[in-house]
């Protein structure tokens, strides 16, 4: 156990750094007697209306309006001095720290100080708290969340084909993911994912030419395809070429809010092609895909306020139905979805809500209702690997962090493999979720 004096904050600094799209983001460093602990905040492209507010400066001549100097200033001149004055113990008081910042901001969506400012402090304090306790971050977060039982290493859902707002092709659906549920360990799952990814690269090159293997924001390929069947057929071919048939399942994130226009779903929104569908017709499309392909997860198939479409689809949904924009990691939205029986899984994005405490609370609420929790990166990511520890801490059984390429994505998978090695070395009871979760449908 670290010295008790190491648990008090002596300094909090912030700076503007870059995310994976070359846009500014907030870096926060918290200093205690145990050292200095830093965090980088991610940012989304397809941002839901109900997410916590990301504070940007809006000056056109500074990173095109995307600079975050005010958020940095808020950390250094408002949040930092106020937190230091409180003399919180980072080892025991993460929830108090987060609640204090929420109160200090005072707005409903963290728009006064900025969710990016508040989250950076929250993440850095969690790291400082783990150090004060002398334990890994995943162990610290696990204790914060009250999770017990064997450790669960997640199934990685690799986003290997990009569309929607994440790419320049005409595919309306945003993500097509591969999930190595047939692997025997997390490390084995990463290997299978990488092998399918490389096979997909060659399949696309043969079909569309070398110019078609450019990647989208999350490392997935963005070939010139339009129809979801084209994407899924490419995945089927890649899995077969890699020799992993039967071990790989698929997930789709249409991110339907992005193509919900004037009461209809326009699958041609990225091209001049007219392809408007009602919610009922779109539901039929999804069900036809479920019948034909090994799909185990569907995320944001309808717009964030199309509650009736969600409710109807969930009445007879044989797979995991995940709410992202629908829920925005927000307790009010989660409770509304529970009342409406709108989905059966929460997508957990820490920057959607803005503190680690509220993220854990959202996960706990979802678990208590019998839902699953799917931890997620953002399209504007950083090299910070915090969510890898969070996923293990919560035993969610799966996360998505992009393709097995690009440093900001690979950082999460490398961290998960490090954690698996640590658990194996310490002989702690652990299992890989591909074997323990019923992936053909909900439990």
Domains belonging to the chain, first-starting first, are 9-134 (3.30.390.10), 145-437 (3.20.20.120)
Q: Is 92 annotated as a binding residue?
A: no
* Distance in angstroms (rounded) separating the CA atoms of residues 299 and 322: 4
Question: Kind and range of the H or E element at 239?
Answer: helix 228-242
Query: Could you tell me which residues are beta bridge partners of residue 37?
Result: 30
Instruction: Give ∠ CA 305-306-309 in degrees, rounded to 5.
Output: 155
The per-residue pLDDT for range 113-146, each reduced to its tens digit, is 999 999 999 999 999 999 999 999 999 999 999 9
22-36, 116-130, 164-178, 393-407: range with lowest mean pLDDT: 164-178
Mean pLDDT of 49-55: 91
d(CA 174, CA 165): 7
Beta strands 24-32; 35-40: pairing state? antiparallel
21 touches 44 (CB < 8 A) = no
Q: Does residue 299 have a known ligand-binding role?
A: yes
pLDDT band at 2 (very low <50, low <70, confident <90, very high): very low
- Report the greatest alpha carbon distance in the chain: 65
431 is catalytic: no
pLDDT in tens, 368-413: 999 999 999 998 999 999 999 999 999 999 999 999 999 999 999 9
431 labelled as ligand-binding?
A: no
**Catalytic residue chosen out of the listed positions 218, 304, 408, 420:** 218
Give the Cα separation of 189 and 203 in Å (integer): 21
- The secondary element (H helix, E strand) that includes residue 162 is strand 155-162
Rounded Cα distance between 304 and 326, Å, is: 4
Which tokens is 443 given? 């439990």
Q: What is the mean pLDDT of residues 18-38?
A: 97
User: What pLDDT is recorded for position 412?
Assistant: 98
Query: pLDDT band for position 441 (50/70/90)?
Result: very low
H helical segments located in 34-87: 69-74, 80-86
Q: Is 8 annotated as a binding residue?
A: no
Nearest to 142 by CA among 418, 406, 390: 390
Residue 49, C-beta contacts closer than 8 angstroms, at least 6 positions apart: 304, 325, 328
Average pLDDT over residues 71-77: 98
CB 180 within 8 A of CB 246: no
**pTM of the predicted model as reported, rounded to 2 decimal places:** 0.96
- 217 annotated ligand binder: no
Of 133, 165, 349, 412, the catalytic one is 349
Q: How confident is the model at residue 349 (pLDDT cuts 50, 70, 90)?
A: very high
**Is 227 annotated among the ligand-binding residues?**
no
In this prediction, residue 46 carries a pLDDT of 61
pLDDT digits (tens, 9 = 90+) for 261-274: 989 999 988 777 77
361 marked as binding residue = no
Q: How confident is the model at residue 166 (pLDDT cuts 50, 70, 90)?
A: low
Strands 372-376 and 398-400: parallel
Active site residue 320: no
């Amino acid at each position: 156990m670290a010295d008790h004096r190491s648990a008090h904050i002596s300094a909090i600094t912030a700076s503007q750094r870059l995310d994976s799209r070359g846009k500014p983001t907030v870096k926060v460093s918290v200093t205690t007697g145990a050292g200095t602990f830093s965090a980088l905040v991610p940012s989304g492209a397809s941002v839901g209306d109900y997410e916590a507010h990301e504070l940007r400066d809006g000056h056109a001549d500074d990173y095109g309006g995307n600079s975050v100097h005010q958020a940095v200033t808020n950390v250094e001149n408002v949040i930092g001095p106020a937190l230091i004055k409180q003399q919180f113990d980072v080892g025991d008081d993460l929830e108090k720290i987060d609640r204090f910042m929420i109160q200090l901001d005072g707005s409903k969506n963290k728009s006064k100080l900025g969710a990016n400012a508040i989250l950076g402090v929250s993440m850095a304090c969690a790291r400082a708290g783990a150090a004060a306790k002398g334990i890994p971050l995943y162990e610290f977060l696990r204790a914060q969340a009250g999770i017990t039982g064997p450790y669960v290493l997640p199934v990685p859902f690799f986003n290997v084909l990009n569309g929607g707002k994440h790419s320049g092709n005409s595919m309306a659906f945003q993500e097509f993911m591969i999930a190595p549920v047939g692997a025997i360990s997390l490390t084995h799952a990463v290997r299978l994912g990488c092998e399918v990814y490389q096979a997909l690269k060659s399949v696309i090159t043969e079909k569309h030419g070398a110019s078609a293997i450019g990647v989208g924001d999350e490392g997935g390929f963005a070939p010139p395809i339009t129809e979801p069947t084209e994407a899924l057929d490419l995945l089927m071919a890649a899995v077969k070429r890699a020799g992993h048939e039967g071990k790989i399942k698929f997930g789709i994130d249409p991110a339907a809010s992005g193509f919900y226009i004037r009461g209809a779903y326009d699958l041609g929104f990225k091209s001049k092609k007219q392809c408007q569908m009602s919610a009922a017709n779109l539901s039929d499309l999804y069900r036809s895909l479920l019948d034909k392909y090994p799909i185990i997860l569907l995320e944001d198939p309808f717009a964030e306020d199309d509650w009736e479409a969600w409710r109807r689809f969930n009445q007879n949904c044989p797979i995991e139905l995940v709410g992202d924009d629908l829920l925005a990691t927000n307790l009010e939205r989660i409770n509304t979805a529970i009342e409406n029986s709108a989905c059966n899984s929460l997508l957990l994005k820490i920057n959607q809500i803005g503190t680690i405490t509220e993220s854990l609370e959202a996960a706990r609420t979802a678990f208590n209702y019998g839902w699953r929790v799917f931890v997620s990166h953002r399209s504007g990511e950083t090299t910070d690997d915090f969510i890898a520890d969070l996923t293990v801490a919560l035993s969610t059984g799966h996360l998505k962090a992009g393709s097995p390429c690009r440093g900001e994505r690979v950082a999460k998978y490398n961290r998960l493999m490090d954690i698996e090695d640590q658990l194996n070395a310490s002989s702690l009871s652990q299992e890989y979720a591909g074997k323990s979760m019923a992936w053909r449908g909900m439990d």
